Amino acid sequence: MYCIIATVICLLYVFWDVNYFLRVAFTIGIGRLFQKKCGINDTTTIYGLCTTQDVDIFLKHMNNARYVRELDFARFHFYDRTGIYENCTKVDGHVLQGASSIRYRRTIPIFTVYKVETKLVYWEEKTIFIEQKFTTINDGFVRAVVLSRQNLLNIDSDTLFRGIPGADQKPECPEEIKHWLQAIEISSAKLRKKE
């Protein structure tokens, strides 16, 4: 019996990123158990530790791919705490990553505790824009800043934010997002020409 269980666990780890799914469940579960719901204008926070599984080839600091992975956990946590996830599932809608821009300011050393703060900074009818920051706890230094454009499928922003505090006043589009959207459009136009 133990041999079968061990085999199943091994196969799961071979064919699936089990730790990813466990971390998603853990992050959302901790949020539901110990944190209150929040509004659209609130910032949510999750914590992490740079371990040996997160480092790059030099074994000194977090590799770039791990930053992106941590963003997923923080974003899912934000969606759950604000009620965005619940509103999405009611209408079979989806929020999908459309673009992201990461500015790395300084590395996160191995065995360092950090936090990822997530906040909604702007939205349009079919897209929302999220800003996320990686900050090390020991010195309060912002190690990376990330902007993400999330595309809304089968749902619009009015439905997505229904009943969520703070959604009644849409913020002005930040200057950096205006310029970023221009850069995205230039890139898209170049690809369209090639096709």
CATH code assigned at 95: 3.10.129.10
pLDDT by residue for the chain (195 residues), tens only, comes to: 888 998 988 888 889 889 999 999 999 999 999 999 999 999 999 999 999 999 999 999 999 999 999 999 999 999 999 999 999 999 999 999 999 999 999 999 999 999 999 999 999 999 999 999 999 999 999 999 999 999 999 999 999 999 999 999 899 999 999 999 999 999 988 888 877
- Decide if 23 is inside a domain: no
Contact (Cβ atoms closer than 8 angstroms) between residue 170 and residue 93: no
Specify burial of residue 53 (Cβ count, 10 A radius: 0-12, 13-18, 19+).
exposed
Q: Which residues pair with 49 in a beta bridge?
A: 113
- Please give the residue range of the domain that contains residue 107: 38-185
Question: Which pTM was predicted?
Answer: 0.92
- Decide if 24 is inside a domain: no
Q: Residue 47: which H helix or E strand, with range? A: strand 44-49
Nearest-angstrom CA–CA distance, 180 and 66: 23
